[in-house]
Homo-oligomer: A and B are copies of this chain.
Amino acid sequence: MEIEKPYLLFLGDAPDQLAAKTALGIVDWRRDWCVGQLRFEGCKADTGLPDLGIEEARARGAKTLIIGVANAGGVLPDHWTATIVAAIAAGMDVASGLHVRLGSIPEIAAAAAAHGRRLFDVRHSAERFATGKGTKRPGKRLLTVGTDCSVGKKYTALALERAMTARGYAADFRATGQTGVFISGRGVSVDAVVADFISGAAEWLTPANDPHHWDIVEGQGSLFHPSFAGVTLGLLHGAQPDAFVVCHEPTRTHMRGVAHPLPSIREVIDLTVACGRLTNPDIGCVGIAINTERLDEDAARRVIAETAQAEGLPATDPVRFGVEAIVDRLAAEFGPP
């Protein structure tokens, strides 16, 4: 299942930029896959792309309408249906990151059947996974892990893919969440698979490859997050990474959504190695990505330098300072492209 490009981004009547986070993420990383945005009257989000109607977007080559907007409860408001049906009738596939399945809405299901178009519900993989086997596969893999949720694991993985590709590495971002799936055109929301198949889904996502090829796998959750650690562990076992990068947000006072304190970076490194060894005995940490969004530049440079010193590893903020330091470490440890 690969979502066809280019995309028309549907923002509907998103009340603010945050509601259009998925669409904004796509534009950040795949600007050239997007022909424009489709907004209703009163929409308060803006990706900066040209506003287009269905017919205009088709004329510019749009193949898939992306429902790139979050909505309370993950439902699809009734007044969006007509636009989605019109896109299907005009010859476009539709991909949604909402919880509700597109095919569960009779008008949409009927239109897709009538016009032979595909519906992608990226939160619900249509793939049937096997249980994970844990057998070592050829190819190299890097996984981003975190001290918490929402600390920059997807961004760091995408930045590494871009920087490694620029240096001549064969590297592919492997998406494990809905925004990532839109950004890569494929992938699986691992938190939405049945629990028995977490590591199996990760094995499917990162199959055997050329020995010099790198899968850069988007991490999920944290081994120290009491809500989601099972997903994190299954993903770690299935991805069997050779290398991992710890992502961290230094100003956070507790784990997202729960009362727990954040683990230290060292605790995350140690537990990731202790658990990851099961499917890759050579697993090792190659760097630390620090999200310094809430710090001024002096404070950011200070916390990065202190962390690098304390852990004996390259540290950086991928957004502010790039990821070259981490790629240098990868090159030193695993060789040139």
Which residues from chain A sit less than 8 Å from chain B, CB to CB?
131-135, 190-196, 198-200, 223-224, 226-235, 237-238, 257-260, 271, 274-275, 278-279
Contact A132 B231 (CB under 8 A): no
Q: Determine whether the beta carbon of A258 is less than 8 Å from that of B134.
A: yes
Which of B190, B229, B260 sits near A234, CB closer than 8 Å?
Answer: B229
Tell me if B195 and A132 are in contact (CB < 8 A): no
CB distance from A57 to the nearest CB of B (A): 33
So how many copies of this chain end up in the complex?
2
**A274: which of B192, B258, B259, B274 is its contact (CB, 8 Å)?**
B274
Q: A237, B231: Cβ atoms under 8 Å?
A: no
**A230 contacts across to B, CB distance below 8 A:** 195, 198-199, 230-235, 237
Partner of A131, one of B198, B227, B232, B235: B227
Q: Which of B134, B190, B194, B226 contacts A227 (CB 8 A)?
A: B134
How many Å from the CB of A198 to the closest CB on chain B?
4
Q: Which residue from B195, B199, B228 sits with its C-beta under 8 Å from A192?
A: B195
The residues of B that contact A259 with a CB separation of less than 8 Å are 133-135
The answer to whether B229 touches A278, judged by C-beta atoms less than 8 angstroms apart, is yes
Tell me which of B226, B234, B257 contacts A278 (CB under 8 A).
B226
Smallest CB separation, A223 vs chain B (Å): 8
A233–B232 Cα gap in the complex (Å)?
10
Contact B271 A199 (CB under 8 A): no
Q: List 11 A-B contacts (CB under 8 A).
A: A131-B228, A191-B194, A191-B195, A194-B194, A195-B198, A196-B231, A199-B227, A199-B230, A226-B238, A230-B237, A271-B275
